[in-house]
Amino acid sequence: MGKALQLLPASASDKALLARLEEEAGTSAKLCYQCGKCSAGCPVGFAMDNTPRQVIRLLQLGLLNEALDAQSIWICASCETCSARCPRGVDIAALMDALRREALKQGRINDKKVAVFNQAFLSGVKKFGRTYEAGLLMQHNLLTGQLFKDAELGLPMMKRGKLSILPEKIKGRDQIKKIFDRVKEQGGE
């Protein structure tokens, strides 16, 4: 972890927020006994400022601000390896997801590119029912002012049929729309 933290009893608002995040994630950080198996198996743990075990520890200590500001929640790839390996049944991936949604809701994003990527990704899934990689790259580059970023990679991939220039739509997009509507009803973005 980075800077030293002063430990004080968690405030009532932090306790309430943790309870809500745990409810949304359907799991409890209290179950964790800090064995570190989640961190050991995380494929992107090396790039995180707080390993998955440390993020869970921050929650246990009621340090919600630190958990919400951790870069780790944006680096997490939602692969669920941690949740599958946890001997205590803590759904760490779901907690990471709940933290991401809460950080977005509170506008707590230190890196604007992360927010832009997140929005571009979700808008593609909402429209087409799956990711539209070329559109995602173009939208991201446009909004972050890096028009030709990765163009040298994108064009050869298109030529080899690895990247489609047009979006592919899935069947049952009405179901996807219902999921987004439900998330909005529940206070999500």
64 to 83: interface string for ligand SF4, x by CB under 6 A: ------------xxxxxxx-
Phi first, then psi, for residue 136 (nearest 5°) are -60, -45
User: Residue 6, SS3?
Assistant: coil
Beta carbons of 110 and 70 less than 8 angstroms apart: no
For the CA atoms of the chain, what is the radius of gyration?
Answer: 18
Determine if 56 is a binding residue for ligand SF4 (CB under 6 A): yes
Nearer residue to ligand SF4 within complex by CB, 16 or 77: 77
Q: How many other CB atoms are found less than 10 A from the CB of residue 15? A: 13
User: CB-wise, 41 or 167, nearer to ligand SF4?
Assistant: 41
Establish if 95 lies at the interface with ligand SF4 (CB under 6 A). Answer: no
Contacting range for ligand SF4; rule: CB under 6 A; set: 50-58, 120-128, 145-153, 165-173:
50-58
Q: Which is nearer to ligand SF4, 82 or 98 (CB)?
A: 82
Name the minimum Å distance from CB 155 to ligand SF4.
Answer: 30
Candidates 13-21, 52-60, 101-109, 177-185: pick the segment binding ligand SF4 (CB under 6 A).
52-60
> Are 173 and 129 in contact, with CB atoms under 8 Å apart?
yes
Judged by CB, which is closer to ligand SF4: 87, or 156? 87
Evaluate whether 89 touches 82 at the Cβ level (below 8 Å).
Answer: no
- Is residue 92 a contact point for ligand SF4 (CB under 6 A)? yes
> Looking at beta carbons only, is 80 or 133 nearer to ligand SF4?
80
User: Is residue 68 a contact partner of residue 99, using CB atoms and an 8 Å limit?
Assistant: yes
Q: Which residues of 98-118 are buried (b: 16+ CB within 10 A; e: fewer)?
A: bbbbbbbeeeebeeeebbbbb
Q: Is 58 in the site for ligand SF4 (CB under 6 A)?
A: no
- If you count them, how many residues does the chain have? 189
Number of helices (H), then strands (E), belonging to the chain: the values are 11, 0
Binding residues (CB under 6 A) for ligand SF4: these are: 32-38, 41-45, 52-53, 56, 76-82, 86-88, 90, 92-93, 96
